[in-house]
Amino acid sequence: MKRQLEHACVFGLGWGDEGKGKVVDLLCPGFDVVVRYNGGANAGHTVCAGGETFKLHLLPTGVLHENAVGVIGPGVVVDPLALIAEIDQLAARGIDVVPRLRVSDRAHVVLAYHKIEDQLSEKAAGEAGKIGTTSRGIGPCYADKMRRTPAVRMADLMDERDLAPRIRALVEAKQAAFRAVYGTDGGLAFDAVMSDVQTARSRISGVVCDTTAYLHEAMDSGRSLLFEGANGLLLDVDHGTYPFVTSSSTGPNGIGPGAGVPPTVVRRLIGVCKAYSTRVGSGPFVTELKDAVGDRIRERGKEYGTTTGRPRRCGWFDAVACRYSARIGGATDIALLHLDTLSEFEEIGVCVAYRCEGITLRTLPASLSQLEACQPVIEFLPGWSGDLSGVRHFAELPTNAREYIERIEALVGVPVSIAGVGPDRSQTLVRGELQRIVTPPEPVGSRE
C-alpha cells in the first residue's frame, strides 16, 4: 500500500548532475506517477541499486519502478530516436516501460536538423564563445517552438495528412538557413529526416496522448505525482548564468507550463545539490578550483558527465548560488549528496559571499562580466575522515560532517532532509517526514 504524500518535485539547485535521478528513485515508492516537465535528452539521471546502474536521459526515472507510470509532459523536447533507444535498452534488461509510458501530444519533437544546428552553431561560436551544449538539439528545438513556425509537435507527427510535404518544406527551409548562416547544410537530408519520422510513428504512436488530461484525472482519483526536474536552476533560461544555460525552466517554476498542472498543487519541493559544486560546459563558476583540490574532488566523486562523458569542473560549495536557487525554487528540503566524496579533506571550503569590484554580494548578479569578475569569500570548516559509505543515519555521521550540514542549512535557510554517502540507493540518509515514503531497498526493476 502506498504512503500517500503531497505531490512533490525533485529539482537541481546547481548546474545539473546534482543527483536528481538518485533522489527521484529513492522517493518513487511513495508516488504513482513520475513526470518530466522540462529539457530533453540533455539530461542524464543515474540510478544505482541492486548491483545495477541505469542512466536515463528522456524517460522519467520512475519507470524503473514497476508500479510507477512515467509521463513526458508538453514542456519536454522529445527526440523520438533517443526515446526509442532508451526504451529498447531497458527492454534488453527485462524492463518493459511501454505499457507505463505516456508522452504528451503537445511536446515538441527534436529532429535531425536541431542536432545539426546545435553542432554548427557551437562550432561557429568557437572555443571562447561556445556554450558547451550536450549537442542534443535542445536549444534549436526550443527556439523553433518559441518562433512557432516551423515547429513540429508530437500531435503533428501523428497526423499523416500531408506529413511528407510538410517535412520536406521544413527540411528545405532549414538547409537554406544553414547554408546562409554557416556556409553548409551540415549534411541535412530529407530522406533521413523522413525515415526518422516514420520510425517514430511506427514505434511510439501508442504512447502519445493528452498527458495534461491524464495528470488531472490522476490527481482527481487521488494518485500522487512526483515531478522530476532536469538540468538545474543555475542552468534555467530565466534565472541561470545566462547565456551559459539550457533553454528551459528547470525548477518547479517549469511545472505549470511544462506539465499543465497548476504549480500550487506541488507542496514538497526537494532541491538537490552536492556537498561541493560541479559544472559541465562553459560559463561562470565562482568557486571553481582549477588546482589539485579540484582534481581530487573530480577523482573521488567520479565527476564525468553522464550524457557526454566530459570531465566536470569542480569547486567548493557555493552557498550564495545555492540560496539563490533554493529561494527561486521554493525548496522545502535539501538533498545534499556526495558527503562521502569530501571525506579525508583536512578542511572544506564554503563560499559565503562574493567580492566584486570592492563590493560584497550575497546574491547572483545578472551581468555576465560582473559574475565572471566575482571572487569567492571562502569560510573553511574542519574536514572529517573515514569511509562514510556504510553510514545509514544522520546521527552516525562524524561530528564535523554533521556540523558541515548545519552550516549549509543556516546559510541556505532550508533543512537538509536527505544526505548521500555513496551512489547506491541504499547509501542515502533520510530524516523527518520524507522518511515515511522511503521503503526498504529493493532491486531496481524487480518484476514478477
Which are the catalytic amino acids?
Answer: 17, 45
Indicate the burial class of 424 (C-beta count within 10 angstroms; 0-12, 13-18, 19 or more): middle
**Phi and psi for 114 in degrees, rounded to 5?**
-70, -40
Closest residue to ligand GDP, judged by C-beta, is 420
Q: What 3-state DSSP class applies to 428? A: strand
Q: Look at the alpha carbons of 145, 149, 151, 155 in this order and tell me if their dihedral is positive or negative.
A: positive
**Residues touching ligand IMO, count (CB under 6 A):** 24
The DSSP symbol for 301 reads H
Options 27-35, 83-91, 278-286, 299-307: segment touching Mg ion (CB under 5 A): 299-307
Question: Shortest distance, CB of residue 45 to Mg ion, whole angstroms?
Answer: 6
Positions in the binding site for ligand GDP (CB under 6 A): 12, 16-22, 44-46, 48, 301, 306, 337-338, 340-341, 420-423
Question: Shortest distance, CB of residue 16 to Mg ion, whole angstroms?
Answer: 5
329 binds ligand IMO (CB under 6 A): no
Question: Shortest distance, CB of residue 12 to ligand GDP, whole angstroms?
Answer: 6
Options 41-49, 89-97, 186-194, 420-428: segment touching ligand IMO (CB under 6 A): 41-49
252 binds ligand IMO (CB under 6 A): no
Instruction: Give the residue with the Cβ less far from ligand IMO, 15 or 345.
Output: 15
Contacting ligand IMO within 287-306 (CB under 6 A) = 306
Instruction: Give the residue with the Cβ less far from ligand GDP, 20 or 298.
Output: 20
CA 296/CA 309 separation, integer angstroms: 18
CB 306 within 8 A of CB 46: yes
Options 96-104, 125-133, 363-371, 379-387: segment touching ligand IMO (CB under 6 A): 125-133
277 binds ligand IMO (CB under 6 A): no
232 binds ligand IMO (CB under 6 A): yes
Instruction: Give the residue with the Cβ less far from ligand GDP, 21 or 254.
Output: 21
CA 326/CA 272 separation, integer angstroms: 9
Count the Cβ atoms, other than its own, within 10 Å of residue 260: 21
CB 337 within 8 A of CB 419: yes
Question: Shortest distance, CB of residue 360 to ligand GDP, whole angstroms?
Answer: 31
Instruction: Give the residue with the Cβ less far from Mg ion, 53 or 198.
Output: 53
CA 375/CA 356 separation, integer angstroms: 6
Q: Which of Mg ion, ligand IMO, ligand GDP, none binds 271 (CB below 5-8 Å, type-dependent)?
A: none
Q: Which of Mg ion, ligand GDP, ligand IMO, none binds 42 (CB below 5-8 Å, type-dependent)?
A: ligand IMO
CA 389/CA 271 separation, integer angstroms: 22
β-partners of residue 278 are: 314
CB 419 within 8 A of CB 435: no
User: How many secondary structure helices (H) and strands (E) does the chain include?
Assistant: 13, 20
Q: Which of ligand IMO, Mg ion, ligand GDP, none binds 231 (CB below 5-8 Å, type-dependent)?
A: ligand IMO
44 binds ligand IMO (CB under 6 A): yes
CA 156/CA 147 separation, integer angstroms: 16
Instruction: Give the residue with the Cβ less far from ligand GDP, 43 or 286.
Output: 43
**β 101-104/208-209 pair status:** parallel
The string of DSSP letters for 354-411 reads: EEETTEEESS--S-HHHHHH-EEEEEEEE---S--TT--SGGGS-HHHHHHHHHHHHH
Contacting Mg ion within 4-33 (CB under 5 A) = 17
CB 39 within 8 A of CB 233: no
Instruction: Give the residue with the Cβ less far from ligand IMO, 218 or 326.
Output: 326
Q: Which residues are near Mg ion by CB under 5 A? A: 17, 44, 306
Q: Which residues are near ligand IMO by CB under 6 A? A: 12, 15-17, 42-45, 131-134, 136, 138-139, 230-232, 235, 246-247, 280-281, 306
